[in-house]
A and B are shown apart, each in its own frame.
Chain A
Amino acid sequence: MLVYLRKRILSSALPLVAVIVGVFALARLTGNPANLYLPLNATDQMRADFTARHGLDQPLLTQMADYFGGVLRLDFGESLRTGESAAAMALRAFPATLQLAATTMVLAVILAVIVGCWAALKPNGIADRISSFVSMAAASIPDFWLAIVGIWIFAITLGWLPTSGVGGASAWVLPIATLLLRPFGVLVQIVRGAMVSALSEPYIKLARSKGAGDVRVVTHHALRNAAAPALTVAGDLTVGLVNGAVVVETIFGWPGIGKLMIDSILQRDFAVLQAAVLLTAIAIFVLNILIDLGYALLDARVRPATVKA
């Protein structure tokens, strides 16, 4: 297992470095932030001073060497916008995204397992058809539209929930509901498919012949075998949530890493962008390792095959 883990870590670390180098280079190709930060009628001298003050007049390779030198000393630079430490800004934003993503995924998994199992009990029955329609729709509705409609119905028309912001439990409802639908829709289909095939296995028939009811068959026999594919997909969906909460965070004013990243891109705030990308990449890297471990724990067949590979 340790060998497997080490191989997995090494093979994932390379893309991590590639991502950091790529973001660094691409950010600088977008132009000098002096134009954004200085007034439109700033003098040439003011622009030159700004560029030199932030080391942007150096060759790209020098800048990159400086950056990596800083990273080794855990110095990730300062925000052009706020002058704050980029690492502090990224670390402050990250938990907000993680809380949102984790809560969303736990709820999505629970709901998807319930609905997916219910649908799988009678393939092509009424429950199956309804859940199939709902899950397909849920997986394909755009976040942006859903968020605005949610605000319009629940915050403005009914007045039940706040439009946006962070705070008490009610502030979590709309962002989570918006984020939840897609993973829920995808997972219902995975769980349903896996359950349908698990329920047709001989050992289920055996269990039924011994008098086990639907609930017992599902929870004690079939679900165990259906869990592995669902876990893998749930892991990928979590990665997607951490990475892609931009729209939801922006609309609902949720101070997470997605919003920080998009603000940093628009503001050419290189150090913050790099810190945010690095932190997200590390989180995704760790998540992927955890998913692999979880998968290996659930399904013994995976381990030797992966180790050999």
Chain B
Amino acid sequence: MSSSPSIKRQLRLQIPVVVAGSALLLSGCSVANSENAAGATAGAASDTLRVVLQQEPPTLEACEANLTSTGVVVRSNVTQPLIERNPTTGELEPLLATEWEATSDTEWTLKLRDDVKFQDGTDFNAEAAAYTIDRAVNSDLGCNVEGYVFGDTDLEVEAVDATTLKVTTPEPDPILPLRLSFLEVVPTSTSDTEKVREPIGTGPYKIEQWDAGQKITLSTWDGYWGDAPAFPKAEYQWRGEGTVRAAMVTSGEADIAMGLGPDDGAGDLGVNYPNNETIGLRLSGDTAPLDDIRVRQAINYAIDKEGIVASLYQNKDKVAAQLIPEGVVGHNASLEAWPFDLEKAKALVAEAKADGVPVDTKITLVARNAQFPKVTELSQVLQEQLAQAGLNVELKMTETSQHLQYQIRPFVEDQGPIALLIQHGNQAGDAAFTVEQYMLSDGAQSSFGTEEFDKRLLEAGKSSGDDRQQAYEDIFTYQNENVVQFATIAHQTGILGKSAAINYTPNSSSGDELRLTEMTPAS
């Protein structure tokens, strides 16, 4: 290095200038040019509905619409199912299919609309409906909807003519129309070897633009077969912090904020709705001391559910007696929650101890960080209350991936007795979706069960109508009296932030399917 003093001085002066200049140049490009935010959000365009979600959807692929963040954008907005479930009444209603009937034990015939087009201009018909079912349920794509709704079952589909579709199941399936309501219909031009990021559908909105990392914009589609929605555009953004989502609604930057907690600060703009989620403990009933029913009963008596709901959830949640809330087929309205009775809990533990049950064995209470509002506080309360009953409980907070190792088979081994804090949502509206995974002795999320109980569960799944309702009601009673794998705590309430400029009443499906057509400007 042999520069003269004057050159050195120049260099010294230039370094900060160059850095400052580059920073200003940089700040003028890409991110800054992506428009909107500050300027646009302050003076919200009334033709755009602005929604803020908890996270960016990983994909908008129609067969992944069971993922919350995907479904909330796509379902009923961009794509539509053949049949839809009314989230308030629980009844199935026609959509792309006008009627359906069981034409034999294993065969269903559906009549389809003939006036519907996809957003690429092609006709919706039985061939497209058959293709959708085949692609999502019978292919190797590994669609979410397959695992959640259809499992191992493959379906035989046949387009009889343009408006008639025949679906055959290997076993009698009385709730096939309900299962079909989870399938978002796509045209035959959609790849069946790869998932697509942005689907083409028959819905009122099409995807206008997806600025990865920033926002998704939908705009109305002129060729929509139904009534045009009130808002020509919709814009989705995402923020991880509940307080920020709430603040976006209170400051006028967003019209709807999803997934708020009671303390996020939405104030009067927070709207409560039943979200079909239930929280409780799942007890590993095959490990001592949880293999003794008295200990499991004691846990149920030891939890002060009323107190928890009042102090942590501002009385918005409802004390739960079973894993599904009212409105889901099979809910047993006459079943009463276990009363809080610490003395009884202590007595049951003492009785078990007297019989040689190792009640001092450490039970691990496993919970998941940020799974739902106040989960940490709730976990601590539960630990304390179980300790009061005379049990030795250690709390373990985990993140999602770790929690899943406790939640689904194959479970982690050699961890001793586990009380897993679960949040179970039954958005399908039928108990089958709950009991088969949580109560069968080999169910994906079940850690206990009996042969006798398994038989009842499988029988119930084949029944229909009133028989089905009764069969599942009996199952929940039997669970509480004879199995006690769960200590259910509360049916949760969702909170959605809604600006005063919008008319919208959320319902039990809003967390998974936010129908933009139900939103209108408040005048």
Of all chain A residues, the one with the shortest Cβ separation from B1 is A1
Q: How far is the CA of A139 from the CA of B478 in the complex (A)?
A: 60
| Interface of B toward A, CB cutoff 8 Å | 1, 8, 11-12, 15-16, 19-20, 22-24, 26-27, 29-32, 34-42, 55, 58-59, 66, 140, 142, 144, 146-148, 151-152, 194-195, 197, 212-214, 237-241, 243-244, 247-248, 250-251, 253, 265, 399-402, 404-405, 407-408, 436-437, 443-445
Q: Do B213 and A92 have beta carbons less than 8 Å apart?
A: yes
**A49, B142: Cβ atoms under 8 Å?**
yes
* Further contacts, 11 of them, CB under 8 A, given A89-B212, A102-B23: A45-B152, A83-B195, A156-B250, A161-B38, A164-B37, A167-B34, A167-B37, A255-B212, A266-B399, A267-B58, A297-B11
0/1 interface trace, chain A 122-157, chain B, CB 8 Å (1 if under): 000000000000000000000000001001100110
B3 → chain A closest CB, angstroms: 9
- B161 to chain A minimum Cβ distance, whole angstroms, is 34
Write out the residue numbers on chain B whose beta carbons fall within 8 Å of the beta carbon of A106: 16, 19-20, 23
- CB–CB B408/A155 < 8 A: no
Q: What are 21 contact pairs spanning A and B, CB under 8 A?
A: A35-B401, A39-B147, A40-B407, A46-B142, A49-B140, A82-B212, A83-B59, A95-B29, A99-B26, A102-B22, A102-B27, A151-B243, A152-B247, A162-B42, A164-B37, A250-B240, A253-B240, A254-B31, A267-B58, A297-B15, A303-B1
A41 to B11, CA, bound (A): 64
Among the 9-residue stretches A17-25, A67-75, A168-176, A179-187, the one with 4 or more Cβ atoms under 8 Å from chain B is: A168-176
Residue A96 interfacial (CB < 8 Å): yes
B residues less than 8 Å from A267 (CB atoms):
58
Chain A interface SS verdict (over half): helix
Residues 275-309 of A, flagged 1 when their CB comes within 8 A of B and 0 if not, give 00000000000000000001011101001000000
Give the number of chain A interface residues (Cβ < 8 Å): 72
Q: Per-residue 0/1 for A87-129: is the Cβ within 8 Å of any B Cβ (1 yes, 0 no)?
A: 0010011011011001101100110000000000000000000
Q: Does A64 contact B (CB under 8 A)?
A: no
Q: Interface readout for A16-55 with B: 1 if CB under 8 Å, 0 if not?
A: 0000000000000011010110111111011001100100
CA distance A209 to B248 in the complex (A): 60
Interchain CB contact under 8 A, A224 and B147: no
Whether the pair A168, B38 counts as a contact (CB closer than 8 A) is yes
Among candidates B24, B147, B214, B445, residue contacting A38 with C-beta atoms closer than 8 Å: B147
Chain B residues with CB below 8 A from A84, complex form? 197, 212
Nearest CB on A from B188, distance (A): 21
* Inter-subunit contact A169/B38 (CB<8 Å): yes
Q: Judging by beta carbons under 8 Å apart, are B38 and A298 in contact?
A: no
Q: Establish whether residues A163 and B22, one from each chain, have CB atoms under 8 Å apart when the complex forms.
A: no
B248 engages A103 (CB within 8 Å): no
Kindly provide the distance from the CB of B343 to the nearest chain A CB, expressed in whole angstroms: 37
Cα distance A271–B30 when bound, in Å?
A: 24
Which of B24, B27, B37, B55 meets A162, CB within 8 Å? Answer: B37
**A98: nearest residue on chain B (CB-CB)?**
B26
Bound CA span A170–B37, Å? 9
> Does A166 lie at the interface of the complex (its beta carbon under 8 Å from any beta carbon of B)?
yes
Please, how many angstroms separate the alpha-carbon atoms of A39 and B445 in the complex?
11
Contact of A43 among B37, B151, B241 (CB under 8 A): B151
Q: Which B residues lie within 8 Å of A266 (CB)?
A: 399-401
**Mask for A228-263, Cβ within 8 A of B = 1, else 0?**
000000000000000000000011111100011001
- A36-B401, A172-B27, A298-B12 known; A163-B32 Cβ under 8 A: no
On whether the beta carbons of A227 and B238 are closer than 8 Å, the reply is no
For residue A59, give the distance in angstroms from its CB to the closest CB of chain B.
21
CB-defined contacts of B445 to chain A, threshold 8 Å:
40-41
Nearest B residue to A53 via CB reads: B142
Taking the closest CB of chain B, its distance from the CB of A173, in whole angstroms, is 9
| A168 with B26, Cβ < 8 A, contacts A39-B144, A89-B212 known | no
Structural contact, A42 and B147, CB atoms closer than 8 A: yes
Task: Identify which of B37, B66, B399 contacts A171 (C-beta below 8 A).
Answer: B37
CB distance from B410 to the nearest CB of A (A): 9
Whether A43 lies near B152 (C-beta < 8 A) is yes
